[in-house]
Structure 1
Amino acid sequence: MAAATWFYSSPPSLALIHCLRRRPTIYPSILRYLHNFTATKPSNLSSRLYKPPGQAVYAQARRSFSSKVKEDGVASMADLQFEAPLKIVEYPDPILRAKNKRINTFDDNLKKLVDEMFDVMYRTDGIGLSAPQVGKNVHLMVFNPVGERGEGEEIVLVNPKVNRYSRKIVPYNEGCLSFPGIYADVDRPDAVKIDAQDITGQRFEFNLTGLPARVFQHEFDHLQGILFFDRMTDEVLESIRAELQALEKKYEDRTGLQSPEKIDARRRRKTAVGFGKS
């Protein structure tokens, strides 16, 4: 698998994309985002920087606005072991809020986990997937902005970090595999400068803009225990409140346990969801 290939010879085909899930509709704004993703293929996985088109202004990420990274040590071999097929973890399963561990072992087991995550992503019509969403609390994500096996580029990021976010904030209608059938607007920075490791452990640094930047941020939030509705305005959240309550009831009916979180409690608490350095 080409774990960290950042080259598009031409804009991807008119994919059936809806952020983090695919829908049978073509959105013109998506095509604009994909045209903006023009990073070039590196000759090696060094810490080269790739500048997106235009003059995106980056704001240095500030700790005062950051969401605390829920990270707890280094992943053991047991943390990376799994039995196929993996299944999507749905809200409000506590796995989605649990602390996630850094990966220090880059072996065949990690490659098998990555392959399985791509299989799950394609099978569920996704374009991005984080390890917590399949029950593995480690810092790992995969995505393909085209969302079709054999098309676009399969991107693997291990232990990703955000160095900077752009000042330009844009809204977009997002979905999430852990929230089946739910879509709502989320505001996010239009560009990010990040560094990460590839599947061999080699570290590199690069820029993402448009749709790839949004997919990355959505999955990066998962690695911090942040869910996409945490970033919604109260007005937008109200439009999907009943659907979230239905998922909470589904969890209770399936497990016989009380839901570990209630969307109604959001009215009584504030969640730190600022964009900041992690």
Structure 2
Amino acid sequence: MPVSELLRLGNARPIVRWGDPVLHTSARPVTDFGPDLQSLLADMFATNTAADGAGLAAQQVGIDLAVFIYDCSDETGTRRTGVVCNPVVELAEGNDRHLIDFGEGCLSLPGAYTDLARPEFCICRGQDQYGNQIELNAGGTLGRCFQHETDHINGIVFGDRLSKRKRKQLYRDHETVSEQYSNDWPTR
């Protein structure tokens, strides 16, 4: 189904929180690109929109499947939307690797943000919603999104990349606003 259809058909689902085992385990590869996947993708777009997110991995709605959606701007400020199944991210190395410290958050720990250094650009390879091979180059929010969501697919939350001190502060920040996010957030 085209992304334009996926963007208008789904229903928001509750977002799973850090600590749930599905977020800390590698996901199963996508092998079936049929109607069940298309329905999941539409719901993921609706959930991401309801939560005002940049991207969302299937694990964040409790499904252990290696797929994420994205809806955010790239390094030029252009809005890009799409799907990546079975993602693999390639990062620059050596002199070509430039880290950018930038505020990052996670819909699975809503309301908490902290700076995290990530490479400025990445290449993300995988498959689209039809199973076709894709390769996407991105920087800006989109490049960060590709890295963040692929981490989810691999059972990593961005807090795993923080120092113990920064991670504790992130949890404290979440606690101060947690009453704004019910267990069924962002469904209403």
- Both proteins in one fold, TM over 0.5: yes
Partner of 2:111: 181
Counterpart-to-counterpart distance in 2, 1:242 and 1:209: 30
Which amino acid in the other structure matches residue 193 of structure 1?
Answer: I
Selected match of 1:220 from 147, 150, 168: 150
Residue 233, structure 1, aligned to residue 163, structure 2:
yes
Indicate the percent of aligned positions where both proteins have the same amino acid.
Answer: 32
Selected match of 1:129 from 44, 56, 76: 56
Which amino acid in the other structure matches residue 216 of structure 1?
Answer: F
Kept in 2, the 8 Å contact 1:185–1:236? The answer is no
Counterpart-to-counterpart distance in 1, 2:28 and 2:97: 29
Note the C-alpha offset of 1:227. Answer: 0.7
Note the C-alpha offset of 1:241. Answer: 4.2
Residue 92, structure 1, aligned to residue 19, structure 2:
yes
Partner of 2:72: 145
Note the C-alpha offset of 1:242. Answer: 2.8
Which amino acid in the other structure matches residue 121 of structure 1?
Answer: N
Which has more radius of gyration? 1
Note the C-alpha offset of 1:111. Answer: 1.0
Kept in 2, the 8 Å contact 1:142–1:155? The answer is yes
Question: What pairs with 1:40-189 in structure 2 (closer than 5 Å)?
Answer: 85-146=12-73, 152-165=79-92, 167-189=97-119
Cα 1:242/1:177, change in 2 over 3 Å:
same
Cα 1:164/1:185, change in 2 over 3 Å:
closer
Kept in 2, the 8 Å contact 1:187–1:231? The answer is no
Structure 1 residue matching 2:79: 3-state secondary structure: coil
Kept in 1, the 8 Å contact 2:12–2:44? The answer is no
Note the C-alpha offset of 1:208. Answer: 1.2
C-alpha distance after superposition, 1:7-63 (max 9, x if no partner) = xxxxxxxxxxxxxxxxxxxxxxxxxxxxxxxxxxxxxxxxxxxxxxxxxxxxxxxxx
Kept in 1, the 8 Å contact 2:91–2:119? The answer is no
Kept in 1, the 8 Å contact 2:112–2:171? The answer is no
Structure 1 residue matching 2:17: 3-state secondary structure: coil
Cα 1:238/1:89, change in 2 over 3 Å:
closer
Cα 1:122/1:85, change in 2 over 3 Å:
closer
Structure 1 residue matching 2:131: 3-state secondary structure: coil
Give the structure with the higher percent helix.
Answer: 2
Question: What pairs with 1:28-47 in structure 2 (closer than 5 Å)?
Answer: none
Aligned residues: 167
Give the structure with the higher percent strand.
Answer: 2
Kept in 1, the 8 Å contact 2:125–2:135? The answer is yes
Partner of 2:8: none
Q: Extract structure 1 runs of 4+ deviating beyond 6 A.
A: none
Partner of 2:131: 201
Cα 1:195/1:106, change in 2 over 3 Å:
same
CA-atom RMSD in angstroms: 2.7
